[in-house]
Each structure stands twice: as structure tokens, then as C-alpha cells.
Chains A and B, each alone.
Chain A
Amino acid sequence: MPRVTVAKAVQETSFYGAVAFFFVLAAFPFYWMVITSFKTNGDLYNVTNIPFWFNDSPTLEHFRYLFERTLFVTWLLNSLIIGLCVTAITLVTALPAAYSLARMTGRKGEALGIGIFLTYLVPPTLLFLPLSRVIAELGLQNSMWSLVLIYPTFTIPFCTWLLMGFFKSMPREIEEAAIVDGCSLLGAFIKMALPLSVPGILTAVIFTFTLTLQEFVYALTFISSSAQKPVTLGVATDLIRGDVFYWGEIMAGALIASIPVAIAYNLFLDRFISGITGGAVK
């Protein structure tokens, strides 16, 4: 009997050890963001201090500096405007496209849907050279509106695919009944399919918004003036003076910009997974 309990104890210990490992691995960089952003500079830049906790009392000076003496608020607003515009463009194009590919075009639609989705895999690092030329021709260089124009190139494919799966999982009978009752095809889409797909639309909105927040390469390529930067680019590249990194401010900004995305992902994770795997698991 004791041998069994010892084996059991070893098993339990190693299991909880593994849990602790993953917990620390995932959470530590964020803990590090939090602790850095509330520490005084004297505490941060002293190698003899214990880095894991406050040696001086916590301070809000980095947050104050960030909000009062940098363009952080402008960057947040830029990101918000970009996100809203891109979401609007994406919904207007991807919703009808997804509905059409799921319901109206049959087998050909399936192939076309896969084709659209594959464009999601064309990387920004392949397209940024010609696109920066397109942006320059349109007079949009160094303006956040260039991002409003370009971001739908990956959000439309992504959302079309996501919504296509959603429309496919909806029962056809409801729209067919509406059509039998004298509703037009367009009417069936607007009055029947759209109201029923609100959860799917909400998912598409959340992920479009987070994809625009996460994007970095296009923003880096197209935008160099500080006042036009979205928040991700601003925090990562604009809080450095010469060789000096403003670590407290950088971490404070990163923290604030990360929180909404983190919450959104945790709420909508399952839909995201079934979206990108295209229902490979049924």
C-alpha cells in the first residue's frame, strides 16, 4: 500500500509542477509588465534590488508621463478609429460574400471560399513593397487612413471564412419558409438570416477589431509620423529617445493596450478555433 501512495504523491506533485510551469510561463511576462509600470525609476535601474517586488513604494509616474507627455491618447484614438472603420468595411463586404458562398453558389462557392481564405495566408512581408507604392500613389503615405484601406485585405478573407461556417450551420428551412411565404431572396437574407446570425456577426466584429490591434508590419511600413501611429506601433517604437528606452512607460502602455484584446480572446476563443479550422472537428 505505501508504495502506491508514494507513486500517487509523485504523480500529483509532478502534475501540479507542470501546472505551475505553464502558469509562470504564460503569465510572467505580463506580471513583469505590471510590476515595471508601477516601479519608480530608482527601483527599476538598480541591479542589487530584488526585481520581483517593490523595493520603493509603487508609483503612478509612468502612467502620468504616458498620458500627459506622450501621444499615447492619440495612439489609442487612432487605433479605435482604424478598428471601427475596418470593422465596418469588413462587415459590409464579408457578410454578403459569406452568405452567398454558403447558400447561393453551391460547389463553386466552396472552392471560391477556400480561395478567399487562402489570401489570408499571403503575408504582409510579401506585399508591403508594392502596397507602399499603391499608398503613395493614393497620397495616403504617413496617414492612418492607409491602414484603414489595407487592413481589410486580411480581415475580409478571415471574416468571410468565419461567417461562411456560421451560415452553413444555420438551418436553411427558416429562409426557405420565408421565401415560400412571398419574401424575396434579398429579403430573406436581410430579415431572416442576418438577425439569426447576430452571434456570428459579433464574433466577426471582435476578431476584426483585435486583428487590427495586433497588426504591426503594415503600420511600421506605412507610418512614420508619431501622431498617426496606432497604439501598438506607438508603444513599441515611439517611447525610445535615442538609445534610452522608457521602460516604465513602454510597459504601462503595453499593459493598457493588451487588456481589451486579452479579454476579447478569452470570451470568444471557441468560435475563433472553429472558425479557422473550418469545422475540421465536428
Chain B
Amino acid sequence: MAAIAEAVSKPPSRFRFILDRRDVLGAIFVSPAILYVLLLVGVPFLMAVYYSLSAYTIYDPSWDFVGLDNFADIIEDPTFQHTLLNTFIFTFGSQGLGLILGKFGALVLLRPFPGRKLVRALVILPWAVPVALATVAWQWMFDSLYSVINWTLIWAGFITREQAPNWLGTANLAMLSVIIVNAWRFFPFAIVIFLAGITAVPQDVLDAATVDGAGFWRRNYQIIMPMILPIVAIGLIFGIVFTFTDLSIVFLMTMGGPVGATSVLGFAGFQTGITSGDVSHGAAISLFMLPVLLVVVVFMLRFIRRREI
């Protein structure tokens, strides 16, 4: 203890001299964050890659290197092919629907009307509330017997009780349901992104265009859209990454069912790697997300760079 106290008090000038160098203090400041991320994201990521190339399961922790066998196994598996296709349908279906809702929602919320603040606050909710909790509310709305959606359809006379659809128990309807829930979760985010973009377009640019004879649609698609494209792209990138790798909505609503109809990559990785304990195949399934993530990251970097110039 004495030595430590001495070291600090005795040559204070030299210690302070080092801390007063901008690059040294900068490196000290940034290193804990970098270390944390390297140890708990970087290292596990490499472990995941190694798992996918090994024969590791919880019953056989031998770590034997098997090359690309795991990948070969899962690519040939028709269930996996189905899962991969499902993941794309799920991602692009819900992002497309979310974007359309977001664009229209933003147009609606741009115009002042009484109660706009309240509507705006409510519209944020689907995105703010923890996804697992909102999902169980939807699961209850899609209930096979007490579905409020079916009740309304029956009441309105569109269907009879015998025809009432079993939303989560029929293949196509189950996929539609998880897409709707995910689009519902993301459309507030899209609205907010569109609003942030549109309100940032300088009014004088729009005025100049109006003077030059550009109408509403022309202003919308030839001036506003190109100007807000970077921010919309960033929002979309977030949406794609979080949807493509999502597990919770499918896990809670359908458990991948019926018969794998809504199984997506994140869910299949969980089922194989955690539930069944086949870690190596689970890791290989999860790693199929990587190509998509890489494409997205490259796009993101290009947009960030463009912004800096």
C-alpha cells in the first residue's frame, strides 16, 4: 500500500505529463470499451466460426475439426432450405409493409390537426414496448378460439364461426401473422425516420422548386425522396439486420410451426444449437446470417462515408 501511495505522490509531474498527452489519455479512455467489445463480441464471434467447422455437441465436446461438413449437411437439408427461404420472406415482407405504413404515417403526421401530439405519442408505442410483451398481446389476438380479429370478422358477416381461420395453425396464415406483427413493430420506427428526413429538407429548396413549377408529386419524388434517401437507408438497414436475425417473434408466436412453416434462421439456430445441443450445426445455421449482414454493413459504411465528405 505504501509503495502505491508513494508512486503517485513522488513523481507527480511525470505521471501528469503522460496523462497530459492527448494520444495517451485518448488511448486509455477508449481501451475499456474496446476490450469489452473485443472479449465478448470479437472472441465469441471467432468461437462461433470455429464451432461451425467442428463436430462439437454438448454430448461430444471433442472439438474435432471437420471442415465444411456441417455446412454441407445443412444445405442439403430441405428443412433448412425452407428456413432460409422463410427468413427472406419474413424480412422483406415485414420491411416492405413497414416502409409503406411508415411513409403514409409520416405524411399523415406532417399535417397539423387537433390531437396530433397524442396520435404521435401512441404511434411510437409498438416500437418502444419490449417486443416479447407486444408479441404475446398479438398472440392472444390471434388465439385459435378467442381471437378478437375473428370475432370482428364474424360480427361483420364476412365469415361464419365454422370458417374462422386458425391464424397461427395454418402455414400461410402463420407466416402472414408473424410478418404483420413484425411490420407493426417496425412501422413507428419508419415513421420517425421519414419524419426526421422530411422535416430536415430546407424549405427554400422546396419553395424554389414550387416557383419553378414542380407540383406536389414532383416535389415528393424528385426532391424530398432523394434528399432523405441516406437517412431512410440507414433506418432500413437497421430494420433488415434486426429482422433477419430475429428470434423472439417466431419463438413466442408459432415456435416455428406449423411444421416449420415460420421457422427462420435465428429460430433454427436456437432449436438446433441450444434446445437439441447440436452446437456445431446450430453455429453453422446462425452463420448463414453473415453474408446478409456483411452486405448491409458495406452499404452502411458507404453511406456514413458519403455523409462525411
A residues whose Cβ falls under 8 Å from a Cβ of B: 15-16, 18-19, 22-23, 25-27, 29-30, 32-33, 36, 44-45, 47, 51-52, 92-94, 96-97, 99-101, 103-105, 109-110, 112, 114, 116, 118-119, 121-134, 149-150, 152-153, 156-157, 160, 184-186, 189, 210, 213-214, 216-217, 220-221, 232-233, 235-237, 245, 247, 250-251, 253-254, 257-258, 261-262, 264-266, 269, 273-274, 276-282
Contacts and interface: CB of A to CB of B under 8 A. Distances in A.
B130 A261 contact: yes
A95 B203 CA distance: 36
A257 B133 contact: yes
Given A97-B29, A121-B293, A129-B51, A25 B44 contact: no
Contacts of B113: 15-16, 19
A103 to B, nearest CB: 8
Given A93-B36, A216-B132, A130 B44 contact: yes
Contact of A23 (B25, B101, B119): B119
A217 B304 CA distance: 29
A101 B22 CA distance: 11
A99 B307 CA distance: 21
A96 B242 contact: no
A122 B138 CA distance: 27
Interface string B120-158: 011111111111111111101101011010010000000
Contacts of A131: 40, 44
A153 B36 contact: yes
Contacts of A157: 37
13 contacts: A15-B108, A105-B27, A122-B45, A126-B286, A128-B270, A153-B37, A160-B33, A216-B130, A254-B136, A258-B125, A265-B127, A266-B128, A280-B230
Interface string B218-245: 0000000000001100110010011011
A47 to B, nearest CB: 7
A127 B231 contact: no
A254 B297 contact: no
Contacts of A99: 29
A150 B30 CA distance: 19
A126 B124 contact: no
B184 interface: yes
Interface in B165-199: 184, 187-188, 192-193, 196-197
B44 A134 contact: yes
Interface of B: 16, 19-20, 22-23, 25-30, 32-34, 36-37, 40-45, 47-48, 51, 101, 104-105, 108-109, 111, 113, 119, 121-138, 140-141, 143, 145-146, 148, 151, 161, 184, 187-188, 192-193, 196-197, 200, 230-231, 234-235, 238, 241-242, 244-248, 251-252, 265-266, 269-270, 273-274, 279, 282-283, 286-287, 289-290, 293, 296-297, 300-301, 303-304, 307-308
Contact of B307 (A133, A251, A262, A280): A280
A126 B290 contact: yes
B123 A119 contact: no
Contacts of A220: 247-248, 251, 270
B300 to A, nearest CB: 7
B133 A278 contact: no
B82 to A, nearest CB: 18
Contacts of B235: 277
A22 B123 contact: yes
A247 B138 CA distance: 11
Contact of A236 (B45, B132, B270): B132
Given A125-B245, A281-B197, A247 B47 contact: no
A176 B161 CA distance: 74
Contacts of B251: 220
Contact of A129 (B25, B27, B273): B273
Contacts of A116: 33-34, 37
Contact of A247 (B140, B274, B286): B140
Contact of A130 (B23, B48, B126, B238): B48
Contacts of B29: 96-97, 99-100, 104, 189
Nearest to A179: B20
B23 A104 contact: yes
A171 B136 CA distance: 47
A235 B130 CA distance: 11
A181 B194 CA distance: 46
A280 B138 CA distance: 34
Nearest to B121: A266
Contact of A47 (B27, B146, B230, B293): B146
